Structure 1
C-alpha cells in the first residue's frame, strides 16, 4: 500500500499495540516506521493465549476494518460459557461454589465489592487467541515499515518533529511524532514521564506452557482454574482455556499459564529470561502430585515453548500525570503494565491503539493537541484497568505493592 508523503509517525517496539496502530495508519495512508530491538518477529517465545474482552474486540475491529477483522475473528477460538470452573489440583474435583447445581462461577474482583468479571465477550462465548497468532495478524501488511534490530533508548525533539535515538548512538529520520510501545522496559516512557511511570516487580512468578490438545481431554471444553494450596511457601495455580472440536487432534496445541505466589517459583540463577527445558522442569516439579486428569498438561508439554515470566504491575493508583510532550506519547505496557489477573492488560493495550489511531486518522496525521487528547481519555480507562488488575492479583497472587517495592 502506498502511503502519503511527509514525516512518518515513529513507533518504538513491534508488540501488539504498536502493530495494531500500524494497521490503522495503513488504512489511513499515514506514513509510519516501527523500530524493534529484536531481530525478527520469531526471535522470542510469544507467550500465552489471550482472552479478548468486549472492549478489546471492539477496539481491534475498529482498528483493522471489516475485512481484516473477519480474518482475525476466524482465527480466534470460541469457548462456550462465560464462567470459570475452579478445580482442586490435587484431587481433581470441582470446588466451585455453584458446582453442586451444575453451574460455573465467574471470577470475582475482590477490590470491586464482589462484582463478577464476565469472561464472555461475543455471542455468549469466551473469545481467545494465541499471542503469537495475534501478533502475526497485526504484522501482516506492516512488513515494509518495520525495522528490526533497532533498539530505541531515547528521543530528541526538533523544531518541527522528533527523532528516535538508538542504542548505538545513531538516530532515526525526523518523524512527525514518536509513540513508545516497547513494553515495561520502555526508555521512551521513562524519558517522557521523567521517571513517573514505574513498573513494580510483584514478586509473583509464573511459567507459560503448551501441550497437544489431546492432553486436555481430562478437562473438556471450558475455562479452568486449578489451585494447589499444599505448597509450604504459597499457592500455585494454572489457568487454561479448552476450545471445542480439537481435543482429538494432537497437532493442535493449547496453552496454559502457571502462576505462583511470591517465593514459590524460583528460576536457576534468578534468571527469568530462560526458556525451554529449565522452565519446563520446574513446571513439572511443581505439578508432580497433581491429579491424573491434570498431569498430562505438564507431562506432555512442548518443552521448547516453556518460558518464565515475572508478574509486574504499574502504580496501582493508576496512570500518573506528566508534562505533556506534544510530539511524544506511549501505549500499552509502556504506560500501564498489569498483572495477568482478569486478562485485562492486552485488552487495554489494543484500546490505546484504537483510540490513538482514530485520532491520527481523523487528523490525517500529527496535529497540535493530539497527544494531550489521547492521554486525557487513556488515563481514565487505563487507570481503572490497572486498579482492577491489581485488586484481583492481591486476592489471587497474594501480592502487595507500596512505594518501597522493587521496580524493574
Structure 2
C-alpha cells in the first residue's frame, strides 16, 4: 500500500484527468495534476464533446452540485439522443434513409459541451493543484509509492500515478511496453464555422436541425461529414461562452486523400482547411458555405487510433494505473469516448475512496474499465464501417509507438 498522506499524481489535464481530480477533491483525497502543454487550450483538439447518460451520471458524481449546474448551463442546446437527426446525400443535398444508430443510452438528455468550456469548468477550484508545462519523462517505484521525473529535471513523489496522458501515453509505454495501438486508417478533419448571417444565407437550413450526417458514397470508400450547430445560452452567468458555431468533422480512410499519409499528417491548419474545400468541391453547393466560412486557423487533422475490444490483461499495481484514451483509445464513431473516460474517473475515485489506495482497489477499477470500455470499442467498429469503411479489428495494422 502506498503512503496515503502523499498525493495521487495525475499526468494529463484532459477531460478524464480533470474529472478525476474533481472527484478526488470532492472526496478529500490529496492530488496533483501535471500537464505537458503550457496552457489549457494550447492545441486544437476538436470542439464539440457529446456526453450521454453514463457520462452525465459520472459528472454528477464527480462534481459538486454547484459546479455540475454551472457546466450544464454552459453547454449548447442539444437535440434528443446521440444519433444524427438528418442524413443527406452530399452530391445532391437530398434526404437519405438512415441505416444505423448508436446503442440505446436511456432517456437522459445528452450534454453538448464545447471542449474548451468543459475543461475550464473542470479545472475550476483546482488551479492551485494543476501545473502546466510539465512533460512526463519517467517514473520509478519507491518504498512509499512512486516518483515521477519531468523533462525539465523536476521530480514529484506521490502514492499513486494515474496516466491520463492520452492516446500516445508515455506512462503506458513505460508501464505496459507490450501494449499495442492499431491504425483505423481513418483521418478526421475537425473544423469550426461561426454562425453568421452570411453563413446562414448560403448554407442548407435542414443541415442545422441538430446533428446531421452528410455522405458521399460515390466511391469505394465513403467520405462523410458530421456536423452540429453549437448554440449557447447567454446570461449573466454565461458571459464567456463562445460565439455560436457549427462543429464539423470530415471523415474518410487515408486512401481517399490525394496526399501521402506522411505528408497529410504534416499539413498546417490552413492547408488542412484548403484540403477540406478541395475534397468537397463537387458536393451540392448548399454545403460549400461550411468550408468557405470556416476558421482556417483552428482546422486540424487527426489520425484515429484504437485498441482492440479485448483490452490487454496485466497484473494490477498499487502504484500505477491508466484512464481514458491512455488505456482505451477508440474511434470517435462510438459517440462515447468522453463518456467512457468520465466513467473511468468517477469509478476510480469512488473505488479508491471506499477501498483505499491499494492493489485490490486498482484491480477492481481495471476489471470494470476493461468490461465497459471493451463494449464501447466493439460498437465503434460498426459506426466506423458505415462512416469511413473501417476494416475489422483483425485487419488493422499496429501503429509504431
TM-score range, shorter chain: 0.7 to 0.9
Contact 1:37 1:150 in 2 (8 A): yes
Query: Which residue of structure 2 lines up, in the alignment, with residue 319 of structure 1?
Result: 311
1:236 aligns with 2:223: yes
The whole-number CA distance in structure 1 between the counterparts of 2:245 and 2:119 is: 17
Q: Secondary structure at the match of 2:297?
A: helix
The whole-number CA distance in structure 2 between the counterparts of 1:192 and 1:276 is: 34
Query: Which residue of structure 1 lines up, in the alignment, with residue 131 of structure 2?
Result: 147
Query: Which residue of structure 1 lines up, in the alignment, with residue 37 of structure 2?
Result: 38
From 133, 154, 175, the counterpart of 1:192:
175
Deviation, 1:406, is: 2.9
Deviation, 1:171, is: 5.2
From 246, 253, 262, the counterpart of 1:261:
253
The whole-number CA distance in structure 1 between the counterparts of 2:185 and 2:19 is: 31
Deviations 1:58-87 (A, max 9, x none): 111111131111111111123334342210
1:203 aligns with 2:190: no
Deviations 1:93-129 (A, max 9, x none): 11125xxxxxxx7x33xxxxxxx5347853xx44311
Deviations 1:201-249 (A, max 9, x none): 2221110001122436522322100001234x62211111235689xxx
1:299 aligns with 2:284: no
Q: Within 5 Å, give how 1:7-406 maps onto structure 2.
A: 7-82=6-81, 83-84=83-84, 85-96=86-97, 107-108=100-101, 116-118=102-104, 122=108, 125-168=109-152, 170=153, 172-195=155-178, 197-214=179-196, 215=199, 218=204, 219-231=207-219, 234-242=221-229, 251-265=243-257, 266=259, 269-270=262-263, 272=265, 274-315=267-308, 317-363=309-355, 366-400=357-391, 401-402=393-394, 405-406=397-398
Contact 1:276 1:303 in 2 (8 A): yes
The whole-number CA distance in structure 2 between the counterparts of 1:336 and 1:296 is: 36
Deviation, 1:144, is: 1.4
Deviations 1:179-207 (A, max 9, x none): 00101111211222232x32112221110
Q: Secondary structure at the match of 2:287?
A: coil
The whole-number CA distance in structure 2 between the counterparts of 1:120 and 1:384 is: 16
Contact 1:204 1:310 in 2 (8 A): yes
The whole-number CA distance in structure 1 between the counterparts of 2:125 and 2:63 is: 11
Give the aligned CA root-mean-square deviation in angstroms.
2.4
Contact 1:152 1:187 in 2 (8 A): yes
Q: Return closer, same or farther for 1:303/1:121 CA change in 2, 3 Å cut-off.
A: farther
Q: Secondary structure at the match of 1:117?
A: coil
TM-score if structure 2 supplies the norm length? 0.87
TM-score if structure 1 supplies the norm length? 0.86
The whole-number CA distance in structure 2 between the counterparts of 1:376 and 1:268 is: 36
Structure 1 residue runs of 5 or longer lacking an equivalent are 98-104, 109-115
The whole-number CA distance in structure 1 between the counterparts of 2:169 and 2:249 is: 25
Contact 2:187 2:301 in 1 (8 A): yes
Q: Secondary structure at the match of 2:286?
A: coil
Contact 2:20 2:345 in 1 (8 A): yes
Structure 2 residue runs of 5 or longer lacking an equivalent are 234-241
